[in-house]
């Protein structure tokens, strides 16, 4: 398998060849992410279409990919999550839900809604949750490989211990121990918030 820098060069210099290589090596990974987000609301055809959309989007943005910010695999994971969430919202009719929520919160804050005092509390709670989430991500990354990847696979992608063990070629009981120790580290780092 070629490295990320070589793959970027291939995507830029020989785009079709680079895309084919990327799909050969990451199709299953991207499909798993997309399927995890969409399987409950749609069938295989939409999941495959969304997976294709991910690779097309990467192909389209190949000149702006900066591997200094993360690996190709991480870039694909983020892109897959975004595309899957967009597709989920379109399929479930929730495409404008964030806009409706923002408008209703704004109306409540300026006294046009019934819960004008609770709107500020909701915004504060949302900001606090977001900050806690960002700190959690930082702390998971600080665990280092393979622990951080185990946590992402377990709690973000919802993979079973067996699937993680197979993917990373690590014994299942080792995965369980790493998760247990990692949870202790995260609780300590986050001051019991998580």
Considering the domain architecture, whether residues 9 and 85 belong to the same structural domain is answered as yes
Give the span between the Cα atoms of 139 and 177, in whole angstroms. Answer: 18
Q: What is the pTM of this model?
A: 0.50
Residues 157, 88 share a domain: no
The residue segments making up the domain with residue 63 are 4-92
Question: What is the C-alpha to C-alpha distance for residues 36 and 69, in angstroms, rounded to an integer?
Answer: 25
Assigned domain for 109 exists: no
Number of domains into which the chain is organized: 2
Does pLDDT of 68 surpass 50? yes
Task: Give the model confidence (pLDDT) of 9-64 as tens digits.
Answer: 998 999 889 999 999 999 999 999 999 888 888 888 999 999 999 999 988 888 88
CATH number (domain holding residue 48): 1.10.1740.10
Which of 65, 92, 119 is at the close of a domain? 92
Residue 15 lies inside a defined structural domain of this protein = yes
Report CA-CA distances (Å) from 113 to 99, 100, 119: 16, 13, 9
Residue 133 has what pLDDT?
Answer: 64
- Side-chain-side CA neighbours of 104 within 13 Å: the count stands at 10
The pLDDT tens digits for 129-152 are: 555 566 777 888 888 888 888 888
């Amino acid at each position: 398998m070629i490295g990320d820098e070589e793959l970027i060069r291939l995507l830029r210099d020989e785009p079709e060849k680079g895309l084919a290589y990327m799909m050969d090596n990451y199709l299953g990974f991207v499909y798993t992410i997309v399927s995890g987000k969409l399987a409950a609301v749609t069938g295989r055809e939409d999941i495959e279409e969304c997976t294709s959309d991910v690779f097309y989007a990467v192909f389209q943005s190949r000149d702006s990919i900066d591997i200094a910010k993360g690996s190709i695999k991480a870039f694909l994971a983020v892109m897959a999550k975004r595309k899957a969430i967009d597709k989920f919202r379109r399929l479930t009719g929730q495409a404008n839900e964030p806009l409706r929520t923002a408008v209703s919160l704004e109306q409540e804050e300026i006294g046009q809604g019934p819960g004008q005092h609770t709107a500020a509390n909701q915004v504060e709670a949302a900001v606090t949750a977001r900050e806690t989430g960002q700190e959690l991500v930082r702390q998971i990354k600080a665990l280092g490989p393979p622990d951080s990847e185990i946590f992402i696979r377990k709690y973000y992608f919802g993979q079973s211990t067996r699937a993680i063990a197979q993917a990373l070629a690590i014994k299942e009981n080792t995965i369980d121990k790493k998760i247990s120790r990692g949870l202790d580290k995260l609780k300590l780092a986050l001051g019991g918030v998580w």
